[in-house]
Structure 1
Amino acid sequence: MTIELSQKRDQQVGSSESSVRADGWRGWRERLRRGLQQVPECCDRTWQQLKRGLLGVIASEFRQHRRVLPLALAQMMLVADQPLLPTNMSAVASEFEFGEAEKDEKLGGMVSFVFFIVGAIFSLLVGRLADRMRRTTLVCSMMLLGSSGTFANSQVRSFSALLFCRGAVGAATGGLIPASFALIGDMYSPEERPHAIAIVSIVSGLGLSLGQGLAGFMGTAFGWRAPFALVGALGWAVTALLTFALELRAEPAEPAQPAEPASAQPSRQPASTPLNEPSSPRPSSRVSLMKPTVLCICLQGITGCVPWAVIGTFMTDYLATNVHMGVPSATAVLFSFGIGCTTGTVTGGKLGQYLYKKDKRLQGWLMAATVWGGMLPMFCLFALGEAHPFIFHLLALSGGFLASVPPVNAKAVLLNVVATHSRGTVFGVYTIMDDLGKGLGPALVASFVRGMGRQDSFLLGMAFWLPCGLFCALTAFTVPYDDLSDKPEEVSATVNEPGRCA
């Protein structure tokens, strides 16, 4: 009897435990089901909050730096012109009946050489004029010349005409840079310049993606001439907008102050300047050009622009033909490179501004570390050969992110060590150094193609980032002695010469 009762009790306990386990399992499944149903809603809410926050940050940045947006759009349209020919190099070579070697020598080397050498000449000429006349007039004139040259590229019927049109666009690009950056230097304080230059670089960098997209997809559908015509027409519209915006800016923003007695005027002069002595003469532009920091920035521009020129001139055609990706897929890889450049420019501008406020020397070390870091993925991209497209996208994205940090900080460093009355000339020389690397780089690499082959020649071009990083590192030692942000004469020069930047 006792045994039967214990067996029944065990059965009841076992059944109750089974029911508890079943209820627990059903409850866990129900909670899991409700949780999974809430995941899309949570993700959607998180995405909406993230999107609103990101759009708010972007809108705030553009409101803060809306003064430079017309200049940024002007640079964007001239940058959009540059990938139109390299992306459709094979189509242009086929129309002009060029062979493979002749295609690289003429369309890759000769066109780039003319583009950047003419740009170097105009950068020095316009840079000197920017220190002596209205910079807004120079900026609008260069933009009109560049847009007309781009549109004329769609109408050429011979290689000589193509060469002439590319030279016109190169002249406009070379002249626009020193005049526009001289204006930016007058608009912002030294602490704000890296961020402002980053905004300009971001917007102008979108021109690279715009040009690549138009050349890769529109060029494939409608022919290589169509992108030139569209970009040229858009450039004319931006020229009109730029002229209107800069003319508004040239008007006085503050009402005229009432006249004061002559006896009160001497009190405005600095106490350190005797009233009976004339103001000290300005240092010449030659003195500014001989500063160690300026020399280092110019030398890093020569060496650092060779890899950029190789990427912009040859990478799309190399991936399309040698890696057998085709023009649309190769253009997509270059688009990933452009995304990396955009994000790297934003990060580099913010980080450079932070490091400059903390220690001016850290900005030079940042440039050196990122230029060497960006060389590695781009070197791997050209050395890889055939591989999964995702690898090429990843290498291009990371290489573009790292390699785009030094340029935005180099321009900010240059603005901070040069007085306002010499900025046009110094930026003209800096543009020449850039153009020297951009022009000689593809020509030099194209001359090596016959003996070394395309892949080894392009790898040699990437190696020019090694000395570029060295010159960037040297600026960490020279900037503390050359920086003018703490000197009152820099502020007074900017305030007392408003007509020059009008």
Structure 2
Amino acid sequence: MENVGNVLHAVGIRKGARYRAWLLLLLSLIYASSFIDRIFIAVVGQSIKVDMNLTDLQLGVLGGLAFSLFYASLGIPMARLADRMNRITLISVSIVAWSVMTVLCGTAGNFMQLLLYRLGVGIGEAGSTPTAHSLISDEFPEGRRATAMAIYALGPPLGAIGGAIGGGWIAQHFGWRPAFWVVGVPGLILGIIAYLTLREPERGAMDRVAAVNAERNSSLRAIVAILARSPLFLQLLFGTVIGAFAQYGINLFIPAYLTREFGLNAAQAGMIFGLTIGVGGAIGTTFGGWLADKRGATDPRWYAWVPGWGTLLGFVPLALAFLQSDWHVAAALIFLATILLSSWNGPTFAAIHGLVAPRMRATTSAFVFLLMNFIGQGGGPAFIGFLSDHLAARLFAGGDYAKVCHFARGAHGAMGAALDSPLAHACADASSSGLRYAMLSMCVLLVWAAFHYLLAVRHVAKRC
């Protein structure tokens, strides 16, 4: 491996701007791979639900809590390692670990096995994003950091495009199990490439700090104390966590909603999900980081204004999307909302990294991800699944909804010979309406998230 790495270095991949471009490209692809593995349950969720006869709550647990339980709780220990050890080795091993777990998801025979494999995906991914954030901050100066973070954050939209469209097509034609096998393999390749071509950068080189300070490790307690005393950090954190709770929950169930409400198949729902969330997310993330760096050069309050106004304005089209009877209109509104709601990432993390020293950054990102993923990704999908089941039961007029529609074989369109029976339609209508109202309820939380982002504006001015 060392010889291969030397050859790659000899052709210039490590030189200056070219290396930084390669670093961002590769880290973005790694992030895309991790996001595919993370949210692929959303793409094949309806198929798994029918095959394993699951409730929406169980589907929400698989898509959220099962992943985020270890992903969030191990994020800080892994970030502490990233602040101390070689970050390239750490991120390479992490990629291979979560990719293997994703492949195993396709072999699960029941809910509990799938739950355990999803826990494994979370364990592997815990060492990825905080480590990548630390690498980026040591390769790019403050004036370019929000843009670099935004480019890195293109990973999830790219993952949504590839995973949703390609994975949805595979699931439609070959089943959801082979789809997991296919989406897990690229991560194994990326892990090897990262190990061979990336370098460990000097800590703090882009911050003009003394070498001794760049190399100094701070205790976890000291880092938490610094962050807890920062009103800017707290308001950005509240906005991020509340927004994540709403967005993760809504996004996980968009393919299922399109299938239930409009009768689309897995390939169609996956394509719409990939294009709206993926392309919309890429546009919003890139523009948000670029705008914050451009306008923030003269007025740093833009690092809070961009996520604040993006989140507030994004609430309107997203809520309207779940009131439509035409899927074309609904998809267009989701696309617009995603552009606006994706603007937070680059500006938020750039502002947060500006508050701490170089060897605190991976831990700081991990602390944000701890709450964002445990509360947001862990709680959001589970809560919306619980709310959907509860509302569907209230709307169902055919008796005990759980007994009749979930545990009788054939809930949600799998009733075989009885597919066109009145009872089958009643179950499907209740399921669709329950999910619609649950998603509308979650949209309201985005206004709350925007409130905290906009409160952060006054504290950005104090920091400068």
Q: What's the CA shift for 1:447?
A: 1.8
Give 3-state SS (helix, strand or coil) of 1:187's partner: coil
| Cα distance in 2 between the residues matched to 1:186 and 1:192 | 11
In 2 relative to 1, CA 281–217 (structure 1 residues): closer, same or farther, beyond 3 Å?
A: closer
Give 3-state SS (helix, strand or coil) of 2:74's partner: helix
Q: What's the CA shift for 1:429?
A: 0.8
Aligned twin of 1:345: 285
| 1:67-86 alignment, distance < 5 Å | 67-86=23-42
Which whole-Å deviations, capped at 9, do the CAs of 1:165-215 have from their partners, x for residues lacking one?
Answer: 111112222331111101111111111111111211224421111110122
Maintained 8 Å contact 2:95/2:187: yes
Aligned twin of 1:312: 251
| 1:85-96 alignment, distance < 5 Å | 85-96=41-52
Aligned twin of 1:126: 78
Aligned twin of 2:313: 373
| Cα distance in 1 between the residues matched to 2:377 and 2:89 | 27
Maintained 8 Å contact 1:93/1:107: yes
Give 3-state SS (helix, strand or coil) of 2:141's partner: coil
Q: RMSD of the TM alignment (CA)?
A: 2.4
| Cα distance in 1 between the residues matched to 2:217 and 2:90 | 26
Which whole-Å deviations, capped at 9, do the CAs of 1:22-42 have from their partners, x for residues lacking one?
Answer: xxxxxxxxxxxxxxxxxxxxx
Maintained 8 Å contact 1:340/1:397: yes
1:439 aligns with 2:374: no
Matched residue type, 2:132: S
In 2 relative to 1, CA 413–399 (structure 1 residues): closer, same or farther, beyond 3 Å?
A: same
| Cα distance in 2 between the residues matched to 1:152 and 1:438 | 21
Which of 430, 433, 438 aligns to 2:368? It is 430
Give 3-state SS (helix, strand or coil) of 2:323's partner: helix
Matched residue type, 1:287: A
Q: What's the CA shift for 1:392?
A: 2.1
Maintained 8 Å contact 1:306/1:462: no
| Cα distance in 2 between the residues matched to 1:438 and 1:77 | 17
Q: What's the CA shift for 1:327?
A: 2.7
Q: What's the CA shift for 1:281?
A: 9.9
State the structure with more CA Rg: 1
1:234 aligns with 2:186: yes
Maintained 8 Å contact 1:124/1:429: yes
Which whole-Å deviations, capped at 9, do the CAs of 1:296-345 have from their partners, x for residues lacking one?
Answer: 22211210112221233111101111232333332232123121111112
Which whole-Å deviations, capped at 9, do the CAs of 1:427-478 have from their partners, x for residues lacking one?
Answer: 1110011112111011112222233322221111111111111111122111
Which whole-Å deviations, capped at 9, do the CAs of 1:234-280 have from their partners, x for residues lacking one?
Answer: 1100110011112xx2399xxxxxxxxxxxxxxxx99xxxxxxxx99
Maintained 8 Å contact 2:307/2:453: yes
| 1:192-203 alignment, distance < 5 Å | 192-203=144-155
Aligned twin of 2:206: none
Q: What's the CA shift for 1:153?
A: 1.1
Aligned twin of 2:453: 472
| 1:42-191 alignment, distance < 5 Å | 65-96=21-52, 98=53, 102-191=54-143
Q: What's the CA shift for 1:282?
A: 6.4
| Cα distance in 2 between the residues matched to 1:390 and 1:310 | 22
Q: TM-score, normalised by structure 2?
A: 0.79
In 2 relative to 1, CA 280–202 (structure 1 residues): closer, same or farther, beyond 3 Å?
A: closer
In 2 relative to 1, CA 446–355 (structure 1 residues): closer, same or farther, beyond 3 Å?
A: same
Maintained 8 Å contact 1:417/1:479: no
In 2 relative to 1, CA 72–62 (structure 1 residues): closer, same or farther, beyond 3 Å?
A: farther
Give 3-state SS (helix, strand or coil) of 2:192's partner: helix
Matched residue type, 1:180: A
- Which sits farther off after the overlay, 367-376 or 107-116? 107-116
Which of 411, 426, 443 aligns to 1:462? It is 443
In 2 relative to 1, CA 63–347 (structure 1 residues): closer, same or farther, beyond 3 Å?
A: farther
Maintained 8 Å contact 1:195/1:353: yes
| Cα distance in 2 between the residues matched to 1:181 and 1:251 | 12
Q: What's the CA shift for 1:134?
A: 1.9
Gaps of 5+ in 1: 1-60, 253-268, 271-278, 484-502
Aligned twin of 1:38: none
Q: What's the CA shift for 1:117?
A: 1.7
- Length, aligned pairs only: 392
| Cα distance in 2 between the residues matched to 1:71 and 1:459 | 34
In 2 relative to 1, CA 107–95 (structure 1 residues): closer, same or farther, beyond 3 Å?
A: same
Aligned twin of 2:5: none
| 1:294-333 alignment, distance < 5 Å | 294-333=233-272
Q: TM-score, normalised by structure 1?
A: 0.74
Matched residue type, 1:250: E
| 1:351-390 alignment, distance < 5 Å | 351-384=291-324, 386-387=325-326, 389-390=327-328
Maintained 8 Å contact 2:138/2:201: no
| Cα distance in 2 between the residues matched to 1:160 and 1:177 | 27
